[in-house]
Structure 1
Amino acid sequence: MIKTASFAVVHFSVAFGVAFALTGSVVIGGLVALVEPFVNTIAYHFHEKVWERIRARRVAKVTAGSNGPAIAA
């Protein structure tokens, strides 16, 4: 949990730092630091759904392509 919390602090700090460097505004930097992780979390959710579908298709393709184990006569 400590590692996750420290990464969150790094993430917010980087988002704030980049937005502040680009705009010179503490307010905009703060808004980006708060909004970006929220939007990124939603995007990650849909990213995972897409990859789960890809995995499922691969498994179905492998399963459909096999006729079971070969038995030597």
Structure 2
Amino acid sequence: MTKTLSFGVMHLITAFSVTYALTGSVAVAGAVTFVEPLANTVLHYFFDKYWDHPRAQAFRGRWRAGGARHAQQAG
């Protein structure tokens, strides 16, 4: 849990620093620092739900098979 919390703090500092460097605005950087992780969390929920969907599994299977074919042709 300590590693996860440390990464979370690092993410917030990075988000604030990059946004402040790009905009020069503490208000914008502060807003992005808290809105982005919230949006990311919501999107991750839906991403996680779709990940196990049969269409997503089929796509990953085709993608892996295509990569294996490409490696055989190159080798």
Give the TM-score normalised by structure 2. 0.69
Q: 1:51: which partner in 2?
A: 51
- The one of the two structures with greater contact order (alpha-carbon pairs below 8 A, sep at least 6) is 1
Mapping 1:1-73, distance limit 5 Å: 1-53=1-53, 54-55=56-57
Deviation at 1:55, TM superposition (A): 3.8
Over aligned residues, Cα RMSD in angstroms?
A: 1.9
How far apart, in 1, do the equivalents of 2:18 and 2:44 lie? 21
Q: Aligned pair count?
A: 58
Structure 1: tracts of 5 or more residues without a match: 59-73
Percent of aligned pairs with the same amino acid: 49
How far apart, in 1, do the equivalents of 2:52 and 2:42 lie? 16
Instruction: Give 1:22's aligned amino acid.
Output: L
Higher helix share: 2
* Dislocated runs of 4+, deviation >2 Å: none
Structure 2: tracts of 5 or more residues without a match: 61-75
Give the TM-score normalised by structure 1. 0.71
